[in-house]
Structure 1
Amino acid sequence: MFNSNEDKRFKVIYKQGFAPSCKIIVDTETGVNYLFTADGYAGGLTVLLDSEGKPVISSVIPKAKDN
């Protein structure tokens, strides 16, 4: 139940590197993209912005609802 991808609000859609590394994470409810970077014991998370300074938003696929 809790390990299924359908139950996760945030999904990693892109990974690069090992140490240092970066990931793009999408909020499946809002479609907002976040950039996460890590190097050793340090890391940071920020909203991913387009060239106009607006948040990058992916299309959101509605989750199946229990009947």
Structure 2
Amino acid sequence: MFKKQKKEERFVIKEEQSLGLGAIYIVVDTRTGVNYLMNTGIGPKGITPLLDSEGKVIVDKLRIKQ
């Protein structure tokens, strides 16, 4: 009856690494290209922008979808 439009994913996982009972992910916002560091596990979870050695936010320009 109604067709659902396929919604593009806003966030994609760029890298992941297991750490004991949790994991660390680098997630990229496909609209802005901003990289985020995200942790998961049995304890508190969090997400924060990923910074380079100069304290600037890391942006993947190739991952930005218009």
Shared fold (TM-score, shorter chain, > 0.5): yes
Q: Give the AA of the match of 1:43.
A: K
Q: Which has the larger radius of gyration?
A: 2
Stretches of structure 2 lacking an aligned partner (at least 5 in a row): 1-5
Q: Is contact 2:27-2:37 (8 Å) kept?
A: yes
Structure 1 residues 41 and 51 mapped into 2: Cα distance closer, same or farther (>3 Å)? same
**SS of equivalent to 1:42:** coil
Q: Percent identity?
A: 39
Aligned length: 59
Q: 1:11 — aligned with what?
A: 12
Q: 2:3 — aligned with what?
A: none
State the TM-score, normalizing by the size of structure 2.
Answer: 0.77
Give how far 1:61 is off. 4.1
Distance 2:13 2:53 in 1: 22
Stretches of structure 1 lacking an aligned partner (at least 5 in a row): none
